[in-house]
Amino acid sequence: MTISLLASLGTASPPVGAPDSFLKRGLPIHRASFTWNKNCGAHVACGPAAAAKPGIGAAAINTLAFENADGGIDGEGNKPHVYGPNGACGSCWHLQPVSNFYPSNGKSLGTPVVVQINDVCPMDKGYCDQTVEHPTNTGGFDAPVHFDLCSMGDAGEAAKQFFGEIGPGVVTGLAQYDPGCTLLEKGPFGSGAGTLE
């Protein structure tokens, strides 16, 4: 099954032969980069109530996406499904690891997860430095969206499931917004949500 990446938009078209449930969602799939966050306690941008919850993975998202300005459009000319500071908080994303960027140790990647946004990734060079003028990050990932997965407590189980044997590092892959966090109903950390490829 192949995915046709639309490099200039940072999105991918739905996979050929995708299930009806995927096609009905009609949401863009974004190229994404992912890091392991070991500093993700109760002091998060979305407030103490947004701290990681049992059975739900948590992540910070890049500043530009958090502020509803990730600079891209989907294949139908719509703005991406990313919402601003009180809207990004609590929103869910289906994440699919595709390749490990670092460490390149030959170990196996993990499996897809669904995470809930509870923080913002600061404008650090390489990962979360997307701007309206340059809507992809500059660390060699060319991704319009970056996720920093919480590795603490119960939420850390989602990070472990996603990163697999490579452990803490940098992974590239795909991400799709999950309206209403419906994929969390598929099992802990969205374990039954399937893949985006």
pLDDT digits (tens, 9 = 90+) for 44-74: 888 776 666 778 899 999 988 887 533 344 4
**Cα–Cα distance measured from residue 22 to residue 13, given in angstroms and rounded to the nearest whole number:** 11
Higher-scoring residue by pLDDT: 106, 157? 157
Mean pLDDT of the 112-119 span? 91
Is pLDDT of 132 > 70? yes
Sign of the dihedral defined by the CA atoms of residues 11, 14, 19, 23, in that order = positive
**Cα–Cα distance measured from residue 83 to residue 85, given in angstroms and rounded to the nearest whole number:** 7
Model pLDDT, residue 153:
83
**Cα–Cα distance measured from residue 38 to residue 57, given in angstroms and rounded to the nearest whole number:** 13
146-155 burial: b if 16+ Cβ within 10 Å, else e: bbbbbbeebb
Percent above pLDDT 70 for the chain? 72
Tokens of 90: 């609590």
Q: What mean pLDDT, rounded, does the chain reach? A: 75
CB 159 within 8 A of CB 40: no
Higher-scoring residue by pLDDT: 91, 2? 91
Higher-scoring residue by pLDDT: 9, 195? 195
Mean pLDDT of the 121-149 span? 88
Mean pLDDT of the 87-95 span? 85
Is pLDDT of 164 > 70? yes
If one counts every other C-beta atom within 10 angstroms of the C-beta of residue 31, the result is: 25
Model pLDDT, residue 108:
85
- pLDDT tens-place string over residues 165-186: 888 888 999 999 888 888 988 8
Model pLDDT, residue 12:
40
Mean pLDDT of the 75-103 span? 68
What pTM was computed for the model? 0.78
H helices of 35-93, where?
A: 63-66, 85-88
Model pLDDT, residue 87:
59
Which residue type sits at 15?
A: P
CB 111 within 8 A of CB 187: no
Model pLDDT, residue 90:
85
